[in-house]
């Protein structure tokens, strides 16, 4: 990968574990993140 960022998702019974491997320069000022989900034609949340 060009920017050395790896994102993987592992599906469980009722939840999904999302894993991130980010380079040090990408997390310097990282305070958190959010995920926007938009299932099919339904509104996002």
Kindly tell me if the per-residue pLDDT of 1 is higher than 70. Answer: no
**Rounded to two decimals, what is the model's pTM?**
0.56
Check: CB of residue 5 under 8 Å from CB of residue 26: yes
Q: What is the pLDDT of residue 28?
A: 86
User: What letter does residue 28 receive in the DSSP assignment?
Assistant: T
Helix (H, G, I), strand (E, B) or coil at 3: coil
Structural domain boundaries enclosing 24: 1-30
- CA dihedral angle for residue 21, residue 26, residue 23, residue 45, rounded to 10 degrees: 10
Kindly tell me if the per-residue pLDDT of 40 is higher than 80. Answer: yes
Domain assignment present for residue 5? The answer is yes
Q: What is the pLDDT of residue 2?
A: 56
Domain assignment present for residue 26? The answer is yes
Domain assignment present for residue 37? The answer is no
Check: CB of residue 35 under 8 Å from CB of residue 18: yes
**pLDDT tens digit sequence for 6-37:** 999 999 999 999 999 988 888 888 898 898 98
């Amino acid at each position: 990968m060009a920017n050395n960022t790896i994102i993987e998702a592992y599906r469980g019974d009722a939840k999904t574990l999302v894993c991130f491997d980010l380079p040090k320069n990408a997390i310097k000022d990282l305070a958190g993140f959010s995920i926007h989900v938009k299932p099919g034609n339904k509104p996002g949340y």
